[in-house]
Amino acid sequence: MMDNQDFTAANDPFALFQTWLTEAEKTEPADPEAMALATADADGLPNVRMILLKGADERGFVFYTNRGSAKGGELAANPKAALLFYWKSLGRQIRVAAVEPTTEAEADAYFATRHPQSRIGAWASQQSRPLESRAVLEEAVARYTDEFDGREVTRPDYWRGYRVRPVEIEFWQNGEYRLHDRVVFRRAALDGAWTKTRLNP
């Protein structure tokens, strides 16, 4: 495991993220790729929920959702977001702040990897909108199951991916007596160079 001295000496935030995620995959009991996604509506009211990371590289952090959902609507009205990864088993967290849609091809490729019933669910669920009863949802699942019987369950147009392209990434490591180690990477533009600053706990 990387010690705190190595972590604060790192110069590539994406490489450091991959190292920490790999370590979390060995220690977290469930869903090490879980992250909190914060968005805000057109009036600036924040909203946060737990989702799953579906891809990460030097371009950013990817997740998928129904663009008619609350988060989809908020990202359309105010295309900014923040992420938080927290791994209790390691005493670590990572904050990521900035968003752009993924390509249609990327969304198609990921959708094809989902379990067929999860793909049916994407068609059946009008995510975040009022639902009269569980029975109504189950009827929609049955209807789309029949509709796609014997053929590939394709991606609905409203189901898409988003890539959080960060302008800021902060790494936090728990320390004894609250003397935590913190390093933040910032860049002025998405194609700009990173600057690194060590922060007080």
- Cα distance from N-terminal residue to C-terminal residue, the chain: 21
Q: Which two tokens stand for residue 70?
A: 């609350």
| Residue (of 63, 165, 59) closest to 111 by Cα position | 63
Verify whether residue 178 is a known catalytic residue: yes
Residues contributing to the annotated binding site: 49-54, 64-65, 71, 93, 110, 114, 118, 127-128, 172, 178-180, 182
Please name the residues in contact with 102: beta carbons below 8 A apart, sequence gap of 6 or more. Answer: 62, 160, 161, 162, 163
Q: Which of 134, 143, 155, 178 is catalytic?
A: 178
Residues contributing to the annotated binding site for substrate: 54, 110, 114, 118, 178-180
What is the rounded distance in angstroms from the CA atom of residue 23 to the CA atom of residue 148?
40
3-state DSSP assignment of residue 56: strand
> How far from chain centre, in Å, is Cα 118?
18
Burial of 1 (0-12, 13-18, 19+ CB in 10 A): exposed
| Residue (of 2, 6, 8, 3) closest to 201 by Cα position | 8
Q: Return the percent helix, strand and coil in the chain, to nearest 5.
A: 30, 30, 40
Residue type, 182: R
Residues contributing to the annotated binding site for FMN: 49-54, 64-65, 71, 93, 127-128, 172, 182
Catalytically annotated residues:
178
